[in-house]
Amino acid sequence: MTESSNSSKAASNSAKDFPALGAGYRAREGGVELTSVLEGGAAQRAGLNPGDLLVALDRLRVNDRNLRRRLARFESGERVTATVFRGDELLEVGLVLKAAPLKL
């Protein structure tokens, strides 16, 4: 996702909090691998762990290029289903999105 599309999306979301996973991630074939899980964040509260491979949010495939766009479809506090691989096990977990922390 380009900076200009991020800026335009941020402008359209100015009236609401932008939802976040509460996790760091990196691109991986088939999805995004969680590299860290923030304490108290949505991912931690849902039981996700570093190393989990996020493949879908509410049945829509995610990757490093579209994850922010997928998250922008939701509002902070909304419950979504995250589909992840933990090793060879496919899991579906409920995730309540939180507002992204403001960068100062």
Domains assigned to the chain? 3-99 (2.30.42.10)
Q: Flag whether pLDDT at 4 surpasses 60.
A: no
Whole-number pLDDT of residue 97: 94
Q: Is the pLDDT of residue 102 over 60?
A: no
Predicted confidence (pLDDT) per residue in 41-94, tens digit: 999 999 999 999 999 999 999 999 999 999 999 999 999 999 999 999 999 999
The pairs formed by 73-82 with CB atoms below 8 angstroms and a separation of 24 or more are: 74/19, 75/16, 75/17, 75/19, 76/16, 76/17, 76/18, 76/19, 78/19, 81/56, 81/57, 82/46, 82/48, 82/54, 82/56, 82/57
pLDDT at 5: 38
For residue 100, the model assigns a pLDDT of 77
